[in-house]
Structure 1
């Protein structure tokens, strides 16, 4: 089995829009079972929406607009990436820094009406969480922060997909023997966001401090008062399950 260290960049922005933030770059490094370098993949993607990069993302990534202008669209790039992944005849384990990369790829796969079965069935390991567990850390750290933690020298450009994948591969090698690969996983759709889940935790903490027994009904009434806040039954069920899990920890 090969290890695929994957990183993506997406067309982020600091303004509101109904359109999704699309993947604009995929970078990946292939390591064999002995953690030896076997190859790499790198491609830019021209997004459907906001194909002119905004100043925020241009400054963050340094991706030239002229390179985006001549880049292929997502369907062609993701097909090429799949073909590259399939060169590993004994299968792959994808490694990401956090869960955002898989989420963004699957979002764009679905937006372009491409079959998502491969990506939903793909096994991946969240290396960020692996590092946090291995070193007993409670707060997320960046790739650059992890490089410093392991005494590694950063290289390339931060927030370029291939360079970030290469640095993440260095971290992976450094922490490999401390990782619990039993925590490898498959992507699971989420319908709530981090802010909403944090709100649930805040609500439980506030009620407990006031010696009020936390109930979902109280959380929904006082912390999600907007009429449509819990209109999606999938989000409602997910937050109710999250509430139950958090209460169960007390």
Structure 2
């Protein structure tokens, strides 16, 4: 089996826009079972929406606008990336820094009406969580922060997909013996966001401190006054399950 260290960059969007952010760069490094470098993949992508990069993204990534202007669209790039992944005949384990990369790829796959089966079935390991567990940390750290923590020498440009993938590969090598690969996972759709889950957690804590037995009905009534927030039954079920997990409710 090969290890594929994956990183993406995505564009910004106008505040409160109905249009999604899109992947604008994919970078990946392939390591063999002995953690030796084999090859790499890198491609820019011209998005459908906000193809003119805003100043923040241009400054953060250093991607030239003229390179985005001549880049291929997502369907062509993701097909090329899939073909590159398939060169690993004994299978792959994808490694990402956090869960955002898989989410963004699957979002764009669906937006372009491409079959998402491969990506939903792909096994990936969140190396950020692996680092936090291995070092007993509670706060997220960036790739650059992890390099410093592990006393590794950074190289390339931060926030360029291939360079970040290369640095993440160095972190992976350094942590390899401390990682619990039983925690590898498949992407799971989520319908609530971090702020909504935090609201549930805050509600439980507030009620408990007031010696009120937390119930979902109280959370919904007092902490989600805008009923449209919970209009999606999938989100409602997800937050109810989160509430139950936090309180031990049956």
Structure 2 unaligned regions, length at least 5: none
Q: Give the deviation of 1:151 after TM superposition.
A: 0.3
The root-mean-square deviation of aligned C-alpha atoms, in Å, is: 1.2
Deviation at 1:14, TM superposition (A): 6.1
Superposed CA deviations along residues 98-125 of structure 1, whole A, max 9, x for unmatched, are 0000000000000000000000000000
CA contact (8 A) 2:13 2:20 kept: no
Distance 2:139 2:12 in 1: 23
Counterparts in 2 of 1:140 and 1:249: CA distance versus 1, 3 Å: farther
Tell me whether 79-88 or 12-21 shows the greater mean CA deviation.
12-21
SS at match of 1:24: strand
Number of equivalenced pairs:
250
- The secondary structure found in structure 2 opposite 1:78 is helix
Superposition map of 1:38-57 within 5 A = 38-57=38-57
State the 1:171 CA deviation: 0.2
Tell me, in whole angstroms, the C-alpha distance in 1 between the residues paired with 2:13 and 2:210: 39
1:136-171 CA-to-partner distances (Å, cap 9, x unmatched) read 001100001100110001111110000000000000
Deviation at 1:229, TM superposition (A): 1.0
**Unpaired segments of 5 or more residues in structure 1?**
none
Q: How high is the TM-score relative to the length of structure 1?
A: 0.98
| TM-score where L is the length of structure 2 | 0.98
SS of residue paired to 2:18 = coil
Which string of whole-angstrom CA distances, capped at 9 and with x for unpartnered residues, describes residues 36-93 of structure 1?
Answer: 0000000000000011111111111110000000000000000000000000000000
Displacement of 1:227 in angstroms is 2.3
Aligned-partner Cα distance in 2 for 1:106–1:42: 18
Q: CA deviation at 1:13?
A: 3.8
The alpha carbon displacement at 1:228 in A equals: 0.3
Deviations 1:191-227 (A, max 9, x none): 0001101111111111111111110001011111102
- What residue number does 1:186 align with? 186
